[in-house]
Structure 1
Amino acid sequence: MSKLLGLTLGVLTAVGGFVDIGDIVASGTIGARYGLSLLWVLVVGVVCICAYAEMSGRVVAASGRPVFDIVRERLGPRAALLNLVGSFLVTLLTLTAQIGGIALVVELAGGISHLVWVMPIAIGLWLIVWRVGFEKMEQVFGLAGLAVLVFAVSVWWLDPDWSALADQARSLSPPSGEPVPTYLFYAVALFAAAMTPYEVFFFSSGGVEEKWTAKDLRGQRINVLLGFPLGGMLSLGIMATAAVVLLPAGLDVQSLSQVVLPVALAFGVAGVAVALFGFFAVTVGAALETGLSCGYAVAQYFGWSWGKSIRPVKAARFHLVVGLSILVAALVVQLGIDPVKITEYSLIFSALALPLTYLPVLVVANDRRYLGEHINGRLANTVGLAGLFVVLLAAVSAIPLMIMTGMGA
């Protein structure tokens, strides 16, 4: 059992990265509009994040240091500062969306405006960061987030036309009548959701928190190969239920309540309750990931003491950055800005920041001074370079597609 629970870092990182509030609505929107014709993007995203997360974990296991710490030393403070600023701002924007997403889930469950819940949620997140140990946090929220599997079960229960779904999945182009730029816009957004920059920083920092060494190389690879594909499957489940129920009915997804309609059709109120519980768990997990990642990035750049394994009084600046990040994010949501819109913009800006994150990871993973015999092999470099090409393509096309399509309208 202890070995099984040891895999929950990968589960928490993947669930928080793939299934946050923006991806929940985006997956529903894509399924309702395109069926499974963007499945290929999800597959590419899973392969790429697995490759770079494995590199990040291997860096930690071989050197005992998190990726961002080595990036600053390897590339110099100026280049690393650009990386820090881009990653921090995108992560803060994503944290804002997660806090709003948690509030939307609570509103849907209780019927009271999400704005009422914003500050209590922020306080609750801070208390978890302050008081709950890293391993306990990852176990509770990583495993609770698996409740989102109710969407995959709903697809099976609804007994769809499997051949029609297979035809959609094999398609590499938009359905007839759908504009190609809009299709590509959602492709970029879906890829960015799989590759959000904070994922590798959180995963590598978590490896330091758990004190990985070279003896843990096999375990971190299992973490990657189990957790991230699982996150992709959860996203696919949401997309598939929308393809089965909402696409034939011609319904567009514009709110969280519409995403759970297929589950309600399959399992009634009980299914909706499970789905909302899963949504709550994954959005809280994502908020914790992004909040901690803000602190990790800043503390590692400036060389401060950091980590949840250190008493807060001895890592005061790290905890201060996390607390201020949560507060700023909560205040932005409190202004009444739609959390889903915030997340949609965060995905586009994430796409812009992807090269700043993943190029340095690839450079460090090939540096024998830090990894010794554990540097990238031919397969890791091949997949990494192919992934970097896709990352650059997404970064270059994100803003033009956003302007051309009016945010996918």
Structure 2
Amino acid sequence: MMWRKVKKFFSALGPGLVTGASDDDPSGIATYSQAGAKYGLATLWTVIITFPLMAAIQEMCARIGLVTSVGLTTTLKKHYPRPVLYLMILFSVPAIILNIGADIASMGAVANLLFPSVAPIWFSLVFTALLLIVIIFLPYAKFVNVLKYLCLVLLLYIIVPFLTRPDWSEVLHHLFLPRITADREQIGMLVAILGTTISPYLFFWQTNMVAEDVKVIRKQVMVNKRMIIVAGNEADPRAREKRVMGLLLQKMGLDVNLGMLLSNVIMFFIILTAGTALFPKGVRNIETVEQAAQALRPVAGDLSYLLFAAGVIGTGALAIPVLGGCLSYIVSEALGWKGDLDKKFDRAKGFYGVIIVALLLGLLINYLGISPVQALLYTALLYGVTSPVIIAIILHLANNKKIMGEHTNSRWSNFLGGITLILMTLSAVLLVYFQFFNRS
């Protein structure tokens, strides 16, 4: 009975859950672990700030996908100058590949901690092969369900902090009473957290997945007239269509908010884990997820170590298909190739070819002497530069009546989107400044 309820709950959720969960990939876990280890609970308050900003932008992306029934890249091609599209591709493609490489390497390194007799690169090879098989050969509906159930892995990070017995009064103090200093490194960490939670690739994935769901719904409507059942007994087809759109928008909003809430809850518990287990013990220098897992073992016990390590592997298995699929949608739509995750391999060879090349290039990073830390640094720089531009475009699209009709942004959406744009622009400036002009 319980399993049926879980299954029904997951079947009702859509792309928002997967989008939010994939944001907590091994790269994100590394960033949150660094924040907790270095500053204790001092960055917990960022969870409250990032949630409404993430939800606002992802809701816009979902609404664009729902109304247009196409991906963000296709919409950019139709309504913006080509240089904007090419510039976005120039920065997004290498950033996503580097992100994939960092996640594959992290999964391999953590698996090696659990099974030291097997070298990390062999685990990375196995994970890459398994993920490619799942992405290419599973039908779209089953593929999405696999991603949904992988989201359950994130619950492991909710368990870990309770094993470290935190002082909850102190936790609440740092959560609701932020203290920001002028320290360069702490500001840099806040920039890193903001950039990790509001990543450009998620905008493209959210839009494309909602557009895919719309296509599936339309197929169902054509086959069995489900629209009439869903919409009620309105005789006017326009009234039925309007009611269906209203129901879809309502479901989409709930889905996005739940997905972003899950992402931020996990972010909270990872910072809490490192802030209560590592920071008090003087473990401050954490750069990778395997270092975080290793550091947890002597201070929080074997169970915390195992749960944390298993979570890294599970989140990597969730995030890499999202990253690869997002990249393929961007490239395929930009080049005018037909193909999506709903089509079989022989009908979308170019589309799946991009995913294969992306994962293999990500795997190759392990052999080029680029460490996961370096890959994450380059990824952060590329994401940081493109985020403000893409957010500005999303805001413009979501307010364009020619594209969105009556489903343009509300004042509240524009307010939150404007704050996000300002913060991400400031973050981009600070990121570039810290990296190239102020290394002291």
Instruction: Give the TM-score of the pair, scaled to structure 1.
Output: 0.91
Matched to 1:184, the amino acid is: I
Report the Cα offset of residue 230 of structure 1. Answer: 0.6
Q: In 2, Cα distance between the equivalents of 1:167 and 1:261?
A: 29
The answer as to 2:185 corresponding to 1:182 is yes
Q: In 1, Cα distance between the equivalents of 2:294 and 2:276?
A: 11
Q: In 2, Cα distance between the equivalents of 1:391 and 1:347?
A: 12
Partner of 1:101: 106
Partner of 1:37: 42
CA RMSD of aligned residues (A): 2.3
Partner of 1:49: 54
The answer as to 2:433 corresponding to 1:400 is yes
Q: Percent identity?
A: 21
Deviations 1:207-258 (A, max 9, x none): 1222267342112111110011111111111110111121111112244344
Contact 2:51 2:264 in 1 (8 A): yes
The answer as to 2:261 corresponding to 1:229 is yes
Q: In 1, Cα distance between the equivalents of 2:438 and 2:262?
A: 31
Partner of 1:172: 179
Structure label with greater radius of gyration: 2
Counterparts in 2 of 1:254 and 1:95: CA distance versus 1, 3 Å: closer
Deviates more, 1:273-282 or 1:2-11: 2-11
Contact 1:63 1:370 in 2 (8 A): yes
Which of 242, 258, 272 is 2:305 aligned to?
272
Give the 5 Å matches for 1:5-404: 5-7=11-13, 9-17=15-23, 19-111=24-116, 112-169=118-175, 170-174=177-181, 180-211=183-214, 214=245, 215-252=247-284, 253-260=286-293, 264=297, 268-403=301-436
Counterparts in 2 of 1:290 and 1:9: CA distance versus 1, 3 Å: same
Counterparts in 2 of 1:254 and 1:85: CA distance versus 1, 3 Å: closer
Report the Cα offset of residue 166 of structure 1. Answer: 2.8
Deviations 1:278-323 (A, max 9, x none): 2211111111111111100011122211211112222221111111
Q: In 1, Cα distance between the equivalents of 2:160 and 2:121?
A: 31
* Unmatched 5+ stretches in structure 1: none
Deviations 1:99-143 (A, max 9, x none): 112212221221132123333332222212111233323332333
User: Size of the alignment, in residue pairs?
Assistant: 402
Q: In 1, Cα distance between the equivalents of 2:273 and 2:295?
A: 6
Secondary structure of the 1:186 match is helix
Q: In 2, Cα distance between the equivalents of 1:250 and 1:182?
A: 17
Q: In 2, Cα distance between the equivalents of 1:79 and 1:337?
A: 29
Secondary structure of the 1:260 match is helix
Q: In 1, Cα distance between the equivalents of 2:60 and 2:29?
A: 27
Q: In 2, Cα distance between the equivalents of 1:401 and 1:142?
A: 37
Matched to 1:223, the amino acid is: D
Report the Cα offset of residue 3 of structure 1. Answer: 5.1
Counterparts in 2 of 1:244 and 1:140: CA distance versus 1, 3 Å: same
Report the Cα offset of residue 405 of structure 1. Answer: 6.5
Deviations 1:144-191 (A, max 9, x none): 3433333333323433222222333323224xxxx7111111111111
Matched to 1:222, the amino acid is: L
Contact 1:66 1:208 in 2 (8 A): yes
Counterparts in 2 of 1:255 and 1:372: CA distance versus 1, 3 Å: closer
Q: In 1, Cα distance between the equivalents of 2:76 and 2:48?
A: 28
Q: In 2, Cα distance between the equivalents of 1:265 and 1:9?
A: 38
* Unmatched 5+ stretches in structure 2: 1-6, 218-244
- Which 4+ stretches in 1 moved above 6 angstroms? none
Q: In 1, Cα distance between the equivalents of 2:179 and 2:92?
A: 31
Q: In 1, Cα distance between the equivalents of 2:324 and 2:367?
A: 17
Counterparts in 2 of 1:279 and 1:204: CA distance versus 1, 3 Å: same
Matched to 1:103, the amino acid is: G
Contact 1:32 1:247 in 2 (8 A): yes
Q: In 1, Cα distance between the equivalents of 2:381 and 2:370?
A: 17
Q: In 2, Cα distance between the equivalents of 1:119 and 1:156?
A: 34
Contact 1:141 1:282 in 2 (8 A): no
Deviates more, 1:191-200 or 1:355-364: 355-364
